[in-house]
Amino acid sequence: MRLVVEQLTAGYPGRPVVHGVDLTVPEGQVVAVVGPNGCGKSTLLRAIARLHQPESGTVRIGDADVWALTPRRAAHRIALLPQSPQAPEAVTVAGLVRYGRHPHQGLFRQWSREDEQAVESALRATGTAELAGRRLDQLSGGQRQRCWLAMVLAQETPIVLLDEPTSALDLGHAVDVLELVREVAAAGRTVVMVLHDLASAARYADTVVALRDGRIVAHGPSREVVDAALVRELYGIEADILSAPGDGSPVVVPAARATTPTAAPAPAA
């Protein structure tokens, strides 16, 4: 399903954070939202996921307005993995992933073989099947992150939102997660993820959306958007943009923080 965000404005009492955002994501695409800390990335994802009431604007998935749906119906269409998810104490990996099936349960819809297959498929896709019987709190950070991703995949929503899915991961685990994101999109789901690494955004996303002060300042094909001017505008630093051997994706090499030239002193009278 296509995700459409129109003129979305959201924030907190006395402090607007996201201003008039327009965004359209076709089915099966990966969008990376980038920008400096505090620019509104997480608030945007929470407003799309029906967890943060916007002040104005609409969010549509297919032909449905997300905010007109019940929470359960919305959870059939959209899933969010936040930055710092919290799990019940001593939960096993299998138990965690089963939580992804909660929106599909009800008074007349109890656990079924379909649910079990969704859990098994999510565990296989994330390489966590061998961890199913282990407690989440006994795993490494990279293993836990893959387990949380499995829970989100088990929810089987057409829209998947990931808030910094590679944070605190080493390079190898980060690549594993981003490759998995591409596989999820190839299977027909739409993925919107917040990333801090511009090079990863350019390599793994179809589209980059750059936010600054809650507004979109750049939006387009990832390998066209990521350049030295964007780095300067977002982070206030100079950078060299190199082409990666093999696929030519942009590699960002920070040089120095951009400074405003000072005026030359006036000549002595």
Q: pLDDT tens, 79-136?
A: 999 988 888 888 999 999 999 998 887 655 677 888 899 999 999 988 899 999 999 9
CATH of domain 1-27+38-74+195-259: 3.40.50.300
pLDDT at 4: 96
Residues whose CB is less than 8 angstroms from the CB of residue 90 and which lie 6 or more positions away in sequence, other chains included = 135, 137
Question: Is the pLDDT confidence value at 67 over 70?
Answer: yes
Under the banding of pLDDT at 50, 70 and 90, the label for residue 269 is: very low
Helix axes 171-186, 141-154, angle to 10 degrees: 10
Do residues 18 and 45 touch, judged by C-beta distance below 8 A?
no
Under the banding of pLDDT at 50, 70 and 90, the label for residue 173 is: confident
pLDDT at 205: 95
**Helix, coil or strand: residue 7:** strand
Question: Is the pLDDT confidence value at 188 over 60?
Answer: yes
Helix axes 113-125, 141-154, angle to 10 degrees: 140
pLDDT at 59: 95
Residues whose CB is less than 8 angstroms from the CB of residue 160 and which lie 6 or more positions away in sequence, other chains included = 78, 79, 81, 152, 153, 184, 189, 190, 191, 192
d(CA 137, CA 231): 37
Mean pLDDT in residue range 155-177: 90
14 against 239, higher pLDDT: 239
Mean pLDDT in residue range 28-57: 94
Question: Which of 10-24, 50-64, 99-113, 151-165 is predicted least confidently?
Answer: 99-113
Do residues 26 and 205 touch, judged by C-beta distance below 8 A?
no
Domain range list for the chain: 1-27+38-74+195-259
Average pLDDT, the chain: 89
Give the total residue count for the chain: 269
Question: Which of 18-27, 170-179, 204-213 is predicted least confidently?
Answer: 170-179
d(CA 157, CA 72): 12
Question: Is the pLDDT confidence value at 189 over 90?
Answer: yes
pLDDT at 83: 87
pLDDT at 148: 93
d(CA 155, CA 22): 26
pLDDT at 268: 53
* Alpha-carbon separation of residue 50 from 79, 86, 151, 258 (angstroms): 10, 19, 18, 38
Stated pTM of the model: 0.88
